Structure 1
């Protein structure tokens, strides 16, 4: 039996579109006022989370995954398969698309594809995001992109806090300004930019676009993904099941009081996005609060959460 959660130290990424919400909302020590991404649970080489507690303290999640596979149910994957981020879209992100596993494996040196999903933690009133496009064929996609007819091409939807979006590979998408999001995704850093609002970086250069690769993976016509959350209420908790497929399962736990849970997955990834409380198991008692991220290992078994808090929980 594995009795110790693995608490993780996030890695922060500066982005041209980032801001200060990761500090303002979570109190993280961010590197600058253009911090766009918190890589909260990551074994990807572009941002490795470090274990903060127990006998693996100071080791990277990648190292623990490779050398102590029993903690993860000996899950059959060479690489840790998931990546959890919090994104601060202080300005618009580029319009982009991600490849599937087959395309990424062939064109990106064996990288995973990137199917992802978003939980909207907070957003400005009347905030929007780009989700899909209006072209009916690949030929129309190319014509609209080449002509720069972005108003005609891009499909925008209005969002509010608590919304959830499932974003499969091949979906044209972009977060827009004033949005704070928890993202659950395949462990990949492969993005094909389609449009970047003609912005320049601090060197006066426009960021690279990847139009030919994007054309190779964009779904046309757009395939919409309608999520119908399932809600289960029981003593001390309301559980919302957002999505369950072969990429990941993502749930929200709204704990109010005391609730019992069972960890019976290969491993479980947990992010506290609001509130605080305690994690209790046997004689172990952990204080957990907004901004904490941890992994419950294989055969962790029964545990109790006490407090008033909101958690995003994912597993395979």
Structure 2
């Protein structure tokens, strides 16, 4: 097996709330000025990534998962479990909630549930997110939703660049205006909208809400996710572990100089948010820079990064 990183082409999705930051910040060639999402590392049928280098150039990630399972350590999961996105919330996203695996399996044709997390890349000075709600019972929640008492129901949190939020399934949430976020999530496209600010699309239609399902899956009362964020310094790298659980592990690598790594999972997803460096695998070097997304497959047991970069990195669950 070739020891090489799989670099991926972004898949852009237009959204009512999207903007131009994916171009302005990362230099991507975006299709329109309402580009809301870059599906950076995706094997989801609604937007699979394509490999742009090496042995598997032109192959999509979902196909590789099926035809070359050895690249991922011969996994048992039927679908690639993770999805990395960059979101440009030029205006407020709808207030939404996602189901867990068990509920999605029954109600969404076997789709995975959606637990996700956000790393705030950049945001406006007074940016906020919706994270959680104030209702103590399902009755109270339902009543506030039906009466449109959004200010009373929704919890707003001020954010700043570098913040990390864990958003398990069942959590009411929304990104606010002026936020650029890297999202690591289960590979799912199931969203239940609770409130959309009564917005209309270009044809004057409001977007569909999914209140019954949303009320079904929302965690009531809201529980704040407990995080144990740890940072370790080694060589010329600072490595922060944001979360490590049965869905994924997510890290931030801040590298200034030369840092060596050994794999801790069958494969590793890397998104370069800033800077430039050399990625050295098996004595071969290639340049990695801001806006690059790649997977280090199973055969890559160790690698070195030499330069100055900030990256968000994820792996499938580490079986403790």
Q: TM-score range by the shorter chain?
A: over 0.9
What's the TM-score, normalizing by structure 2?
A: 0.98
SS at match of 1:55: coil
Give 1:289's aligned residue: 289
Distance 1:178 1:134 in 2: 25
Contact 1:120 1:163 in 2 (8 A): yes
What's the TM-score, normalizing by structure 1?
A: 0.99
Contact 2:272 2:312 in 1 (8 A): yes
Give 1:80's aligned residue: 80
Q: Give 1:55 deviation, angstroms.
A: 1.5
Distance 1:280 1:299 in 2: 14
Distance 2:265 2:218 in 1: 33
Q: Give 1:52 deviation, angstroms.
A: 0.4
Aligned ranges for residues 164-203 of structure 1 at < 5 Å? Answer: 164-203=164-203
Contact 2:4 2:281 in 1 (8 A): no
Contact 1:114 1:185 in 2 (8 A): yes
Q: Give the aligned CA root-mean-square deviation in angstroms.
A: 0.8
SS at match of 1:145: helix
Q: Give 1:234 deviation, angstroms.
A: 1.1
Distance 1:71 1:47 in 2: 20
Give 2:115's aligned residue: 115
Distance 2:46 2:228 in 1: 34
Contact 1:263 1:299 in 2 (8 A): no
Distance 2:234 2:126 in 1: 33
Is 1:258 matched up with 2:270?
no
Which string of whole-angstrom CA distances, capped at 9 and with x for unpartnered residues, describes residues 117-169 of structure 1?
A: 00000011121100000000111110000000000000010100000000000
Give 1:21's aligned residue: 21
Contact 1:99 1:170 in 2 (8 A): yes
Give 2:246's aligned residue: 246
Give 2:133's aligned residue: 133
Q: Give 1:268 deviation, angstroms.
A: 0.4
Name the stretch that deviates more: 163-172 or 256-265: 256-265
Which string of whole-angstrom CA distances, capped at 9 and with x for unpartnered residues, describes residues 77-131 of structure 1?
A: 0101000000000000000000000000000000000000000000111211000
Which string of whole-angstrom CA distances, capped at 9 and with x for unpartnered residues, describes residues 283-302 of structure 1?
A: 31110000000000113112
Give 1:230's aligned residue: 230
Distance 2:71 2:41 in 1: 15
Q: Which runs of 5+ in 1 are unaligned?
A: none
Contact 1:265 1:299 in 2 (8 A): no
Runs (4+) off by over 3 Å: none
Give 1:71's aligned residue: 71
Contact 2:17 2:92 in 1 (8 A): yes
Give 1:45's aligned residue: 45
Distance 1:291 1:285 in 2: 18
Q: Give 1:229 deviation, angstroms.
A: 1.1
Give 1:54's aligned residue: 54
Distance 2:123 2:159 in 1: 8
Q: Which runs of 5+ in 2 are unaligned?
A: none
Distance 1:124 1:234 in 2: 32
Distance 1:249 1:264 in 2: 11
Name the stretch that deviates more: 160-169 or 294-303: 294-303
Name the stretch that deviates more: 278-287 or 161-170: 278-287
Contact 1:90 1:178 in 2 (8 A): yes
